[in-house]
């Protein structure tokens, strides 16, 4: 049986994309091992379904396994795992640990593919915890992550990305090998709940990790402004993260605090019910170097739930909405622009029931026909088959 080693800097489970990719590879006959970082209350080794889990740094300090380039502790465990597993192919997530992976794999003549879900140099510049003087110097002024990416990514044998827009960016930094698009779409048996609580309130929803690279601060401010003189709109925010306390503070200090509901952390199994009680999904991210080269998987979750979407002017989001006609594109770069977008969408959505039905049908059809894991799984397996 052909063997694949997937290397991930963080703990596992749970990471949605890794789970889908690795389970699909098992489904098509590959023996898959995940090398990840150990965390409290987990064992050094585990069988997770048909996946083999090996955790680096068992009962050791996480400081020894920080995911910095040329970390000797990671290099040692990667080398030992390669010797034990004897993989035919290695998939390395993002660019973290890639220098160690490439060095160990090259000695054994094992091909390495990078699963590059995002433009991580750009993400590092946007995280709220990256706003310290030292990180500003390293990430923004010296741009060390960009230099590291340019150094190591072209050395891989292939790259998996999540959107078409990422391909020319990678070509511009010297990637000449094969590139495949595998989006982070939901499975076709996504549990869609059609019954929702009856209400005259138009509910907007956003879910996922609340981080600085995917900030919705301006949208929250715009929504609060729009809700000051009306009680027929509501914003549901599901998830936590580094920006949660900031959003909470802004909401509590506003004139319409009851118009926004912060649900906090949720289990993945709860998502269908959360989306069922909403009318419009929102992706109001600023068009930055990060958001222009990735697709947040929540747009596909909204499609699967039959929700039309309100999106900003990020390149991948605009492309998908223009293709599917399943929502609206707005300039979301300021709170005032977001307020106008919310008010305009509310008028469109409630003024004519036929428009509401059309957008919902278009969203669901986009999910069923194209934007689902069955489609991306096929692309993934065909790409992997090129190497082993």
Q: Is residue 74 part of a domain?
A: yes
Q: What is the pLDDT of residue 356?
A: 67
Q: Are 179 and 167 in contact (CB under 8 A)?
A: yes
Regarding whether 357 and 210 lie in a shared domain, the answer is yes
Q: Classify 42 in phi/psi space as left (phi over 0), alpha (psi -120 to 50) or beta.
A: beta
pLDDT tier, 126 (very low <50, low <70, confident <90, very high otherwise):
confident
Regarding whether 163 and 72 lie in a shared domain, the answer is yes
Regarding whether 99 and 15 lie in a shared domain, the answer is yes
**Rounded average pLDDT over 157-177:** 97
Q: Is residue 192 part of a domain?
A: no
Question: 224 in helix, strand or coil?
Answer: helix
Q: Is residue 195 part of a domain?
A: no
Query: Which residues have C-beta within 8 Å of that of residue 115, sequence separation ≥ 6?
Result: 6, 17, 21, 91, 92, 93, 94, 160, 182
d(CA 139, CA 299): 29
Q: What is the pLDDT of residue 152?
A: 96
Stated as kind and residue range, the H or E segment containing 19 is helix 16-27
pLDDT tens column, 369-387:
999 999 999 999 999 999 9
Q: What is the pLDDT of residue 316?
A: 97
Q: Is the pLDDT of residue 282 over 90?
A: yes
Q: How is residue 314 written in tokens?
A: 């990020």
Query: Which residues have C-beta within 8 Å of that of residue 54, sequence separation ≥ 6?
Result: 33, 34, 35, 36, 44, 45, 81
pLDDT tens column, 241-254:
999 999 999 999 99
Q: Is residue 191 part of a domain?
A: no
Regarding whether 149 and 228 lie in a shared domain, the answer is no
Total-model pTM? 0.92
Domain count, the chain: 2
DSSP one-letter code for 189: T
Residues of the domain holding 82: 3-185+373-384
Regarding whether 272 and 172 lie in a shared domain, the answer is no
Question: 184 in helix, strand or coil?
Answer: coil
Q: How is residue 139 written in tokens?
A: 């990430």
Euclidean distance between the first and final Cα of the chain, in Å?
11
Q: Classify 312 in phi/psi space as left (phi over 0), alpha (psi -120 to 50) or beta.
A: beta
Regarding whether 232 and 177 lie in a shared domain, the answer is no
Regarding whether 289 and 248 lie in a shared domain, the answer is yes
Q: Is the pLDDT of residue 100 over 80?
A: yes
pLDDT tens column, 5-33:
999 999 998 888 999 999 999 999 999 99
pLDDT tier, 213 (very low <50, low <70, confident <90, very high otherwise):
confident
Regarding whether 168 and 27 lie in a shared domain, the answer is yes
Regarding whether 216 and 129 lie in a shared domain, the answer is no
Q: Is residue 327 part of a domain?
A: yes
Regarding whether 63 and 167 lie in a shared domain, the answer is yes
User: What single string gives the DSSP state of each residue in 24-75?
Assistant: HHHHTT-EEEEEEE--TT--SEEEETTEEEEEETTTS-GGGG---TT-HHHH
Q: Are 246 and 217 in contact (CB under 8 A)?
A: yes
Q: What is the pLDDT of residue 354?
A: 57
Query: Which residues have C-beta within 8 Å of that of residue 183, sequence separation ≥ 6?
Result: 162, 163, 295, 297, 300, 371, 376
Q: Are 336 and 278 in contact (CB under 8 A)?
A: no
Average pLDDT, the chain: 93
* Proportion of the chain above pLDDT 70, given as a percent: 96
* Proportion of the chain above pLDDT 90, given as a percent: 81
Regarding whether 9 and 147 lie in a shared domain, the answer is yes
Q: Is residue 11 part of a domain?
A: yes
Q: Is the pLDDT of residue 277 over 70?
A: yes
Q: Is the pLDDT of residue 366 over 70?
A: yes
Q: Is residue 318 part of a domain?
A: yes
**Rounded average pLDDT over 195-220:** 89
CATH of the domain at 136: 3.40.50.2000
Q: Is residue 193 part of a domain?
A: no
The residue behind tokens 């690279």 is 213
Distance of CA 360 to the CA centre of its chain: 23
Number of helices (H), then strands (E), belonging to the chain: the values are 15, 14
Regarding whether 378 and 355 lie in a shared domain, the answer is no
């Amino acid at each position: 049986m052909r063997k694949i080693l997937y290397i991930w800097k963080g703990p596992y489970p749970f990471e949605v994309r890794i789970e889908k990719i690795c389970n699909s590879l098992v489904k098509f006959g590959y023996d898959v091992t995940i090398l990840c970082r150990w965390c409290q209350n987990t064992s050094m080794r585990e069988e997770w379904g048909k996946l083999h889990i090996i955790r680096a740094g068992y009962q050791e300090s996480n400081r020894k396994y920080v995911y910095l380039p040329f970390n000797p502790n990671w290099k040692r465990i990667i080398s030992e795992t390669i010797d034990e597993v004897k993989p035919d192919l290695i998939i390395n997530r993002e660019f973290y640990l890639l220098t160690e992976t490439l060095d160990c794999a090259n000695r054994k003549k094992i091909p390495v593919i990078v699963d590059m879900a995002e433009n991580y140099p750009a993400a590092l510049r946007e995280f709220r915890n990256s706003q310290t003087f030292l990180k500003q110097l390293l990430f923004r002024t010296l741009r060390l992550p960009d230099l590291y990416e340019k150094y190591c990514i072209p050395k891989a044998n292939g790259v998996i990305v999540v959107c078409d827009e990422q391909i020319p960016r990678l070509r511009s930094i010297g990637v000449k090998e094969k590139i495949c698009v595998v989006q982070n779409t939901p499975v076709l048996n996504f549990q869609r709940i059609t019954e929702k609580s009856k209400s005259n309130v138009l509910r907007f929803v956003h879910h996922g990790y609340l981080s600085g690279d995917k900030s919705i601060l301006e949208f929250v401010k715009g929504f609060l402004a729009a809700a000051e003189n009306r009680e027929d709109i509501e914003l549901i925010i599901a998830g936590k993260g580094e920006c949660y306390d900031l959003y909470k503070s802004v909401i509590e200090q506003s004139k319409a605090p009851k118009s926004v509901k912060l649900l906090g952390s949720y289990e993945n199994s709860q998502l269908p019910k959360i989306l069922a009680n909403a009318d419009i999904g929102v992706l109001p991210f600023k068009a930055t170097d990060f958001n222009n080269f990735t697709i947040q998987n929540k747009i596909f979750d909204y499609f699967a739930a039959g929700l039309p979407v309100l999106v900003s002017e990020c390149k991948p989001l605009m492309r998908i909405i223009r293709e599917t006609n399943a929502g609206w594109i707005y300039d979301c770069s300021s709170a005032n622009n977001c307020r106008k977008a919310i008010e305009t969408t509310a008028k469109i959505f409630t003024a004519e029931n036929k428009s509401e039905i059309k957008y919902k049908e278009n969203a669901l059809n986009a999910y069923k026909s194209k934007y689902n894991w069955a489609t991306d799984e096929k692309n993934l397996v065909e790409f992997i088959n090129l190497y082993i």
